[in-house]
Structure formats: C-alpha cells, structure tokens
C-alpha cells in the first residue's frame, strides 16, 4: 500500500522508485502483487503513460492516509526514543527509595520538563513485564537472571552505637567481644542470633544476643540512636548520623560489602531515552563513592 501511494503521488513507477530507493521493476511488481491480492485493476499502464482507475483513485486516498499515519507514528516513536518524555514507571525498595530516590526526583524532573514519574515504593517482588514498570531500584545480593542490572552504588554496613553506649560498655575490638554487648537483631536477615564477619583467616560467626529483634532497618536505627544497644546497619540509612557524630562505628575492617544498589530493567536492543536518562542520573548522583559514605 505504501508503494502504491508513492506511485500515485509521484505519477510514475520511476518517481516512486527514486523516492523509495529501489528499482522501477520492484515498484511495478509490488503494485501488480497488490492488484492480484485485491482482484482489481488499480492502474492503466502504457509505454508512455500511467493513469489511475476509478477504483485505484479511491483506494489511493486510503493508502495515502495510512502512509501519513505510519509516518507520524514513526516520528512519535523516534522522538520518544530520542528525548526523555512521557511517563516513567519506577519501583524502588522502601528504605532506599524513601531516603535517596524520592529526594532526587526534583532535580531529575527539573532536567526533563516533558517527563513524568509514576513511582511505587515497595519491597515485594515485581514482574517488570507483567506489571509494566520501566525500571526497579533495588538493594540486592543476588541478581535475577532475566533482567539487565546496572550497579549504582555499594551497600556498606557498619556496626553502630551511640558514643554514650560505647562509653558505658566499651568499644569492641574483635567480633568475639560482642558476646558482652546488647546486640539488636534485624530479623529480615534470615539468621537471627548469629552475626557473620570476615577476618584475615576467613569468616567469623559470632553468636549474639540482645533485648530487641525488629524487621525494619529504619526502626532499628532509631532504637540504636536511642542508646539501647548496637546493630549492623546499612550506611545509606545511618551515614548522616555517623557523619554528624550521633553514632560511632566499630569493627569496620571485619564487615565486607555484600550487597549493592542496582537499577534493573528488561533486556532490549533500544533502551528508551527516559530509562537511560534516569539510570545515568542515579549513577552520577550515587556513584561508586556514595555521599552517605563520605567522611
């Protein structure tokens, strides 16, 4: 239909061929194939002249409209791919999304006035393909096999307590010293009552006990800030408290980096501009040396 529309518009097979970047014979064969499929004659042909039949003229009007719509659709797709615009659907884990992604959105959207964001804060498992999300920002140790993952930042943990707590109970020098401390446990870690560290000779598993077990890192950090005890906490939650001196860290040399913040998205040959721009922005904002870890 597109070939036929170009033939009618250009008035000849040769003009259509030049417009389409193909041969005159290819154009002629395409029109003949179309006539055969429709069971009607669209063009009167002679050695010097080409004219449109009555049916061909009516059919050409529809073909031209289809061609115009297809051209506009291509332009829309190209513009959406080239420039960040439209709606970006984002899912982010609760703690990191609340503390770091959401505060960054004003700066990001300020750079792209034609872009809107629809963000969901959740720790549940999300199927990007079924639920229609463009990107997930997630703290993870192991990555799903069916997604592309861009590492945004390391997730470091520190063994934290208030200066007052350490003044009363002493600063642990080796992991085994934790046996005499009130160790507040994060119950989502999957292994309560046993904290694992890494020393010069390998892994060190230390049985711990304390007066509080809780399933939320942010709530746990509040208990630590209240002076109740010490806990292993991610620095993206307590980094500003460490920087301000409200908390102190111990045994840092025994705590490896085991998790990272990732941007996850579906594999595609052509990553939409809005997704690419968002990930590049987060990489620049968080980077390999996150602001919450700086002294």
Same domain, 197 and 218: yes
pLDDT in the model for residue 271: 87
Same domain, 239 and 110: no
Flag residues of the chain having pLDDT under 50.
none
| DSSP 8-state secondary structure symbol assigned to residue 138 | E
Same domain, 31 and 65: yes
pLDDT tens column, 189-212: 667 889 999 998 899 999 999 999
Same domain, 178 and 128: no
CA angle 114, 118, 122 (to 5 degrees): 155
Same domain, 151 and 264: yes
Same domain, 286 and 148: yes
pTM: 0.72
pLDDT tens column, 18-51: 888 899 999 999 999 999 999 999 998 877 788 8
Unique residue bearing structure tokens 């934290």: 160
Contact criterion met (CB below 8 Å) for 20 and 27: yes
Domain stops at, among 82, 113, 131: 82
Same domain, 278 and 133: yes
Residue-range definition of the domain harbouring residue 145: 86-155+259-293
Same domain, 245 and 263: no
Q: What SS3 string covers 170-207? A: CCCCCHHHHHHCCECEEHHHCCCCEEEEEECCEEEEEE
pLDDT in the model for residue 75: 62
Same domain, 142 and 264: yes
Same domain, 119 and 177: no
Q: CATH number, domain at 166?
A: 3.40.190.10
Same domain, 93 and 182: no
pLDDT in the model for residue 87: 96
Contact criterion met (CB below 8 Å) for 11 and 52: no
């Amino acid at each position: 239909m597109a070939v036929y529309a170009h033939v009618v518009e250009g008035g000849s097979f040769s003009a259509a061929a030049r417009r389409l970047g193909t041969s005159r014979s290819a154009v002629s064969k395409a029109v003949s194939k179309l006539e055969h499929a429709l069971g009607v004659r669209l063009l009167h042909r002679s050695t010097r002249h080409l004219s449109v039949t009555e049916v061909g003229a009516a059919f050409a009007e529809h073909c031209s409209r289809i061609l115009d719509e297809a051209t506009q659709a291509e332009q829309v797709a190209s513009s959406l791919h080239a420039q960040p615009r439209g709606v970006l659907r984002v899912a982010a884990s609760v703690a990191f999304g609340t503390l770091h992604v959401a505060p960054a959105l004003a700066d990001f959207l300020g750079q792209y006035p034609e872009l809107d964001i629809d963000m969901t804060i959740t720790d549940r498992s999300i199927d990007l393909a079924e639920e229609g999300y463009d990107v997930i920002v997630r703290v993870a140790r192991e990555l799903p096999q069916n997604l592309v993952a861009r590492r945004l930042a390391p997730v470091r943990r520190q063994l934290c307590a208030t200066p007052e707590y350490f003044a009363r109970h002493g600063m642990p020098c080796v992991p085994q010293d934790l046996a005499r401390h009130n160790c507040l446990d994060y119950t989502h870690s999957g292994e309560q009552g046993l904290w694992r560290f890494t020393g010069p000779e390998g892994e060190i598993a230390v049985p711990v006990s304390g007066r509080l077990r809780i399933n939320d890192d942010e709530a746990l950090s509040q208990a630590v800030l209240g002076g109740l005890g010490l806990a292993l906490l991610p620095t993206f939650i307590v980094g500003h408290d460490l920087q301000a001196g409200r908390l102190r860290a111990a045994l840092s040399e025994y705590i490896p980096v085991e998790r990272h913040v990732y941007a996850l998205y579906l594999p595609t040959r052509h990553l939409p501009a809005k997704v690419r721009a968002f990930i590049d922005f987060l990489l620049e904002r968080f980077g390999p040396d996150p602001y919450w870890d700086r002294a």
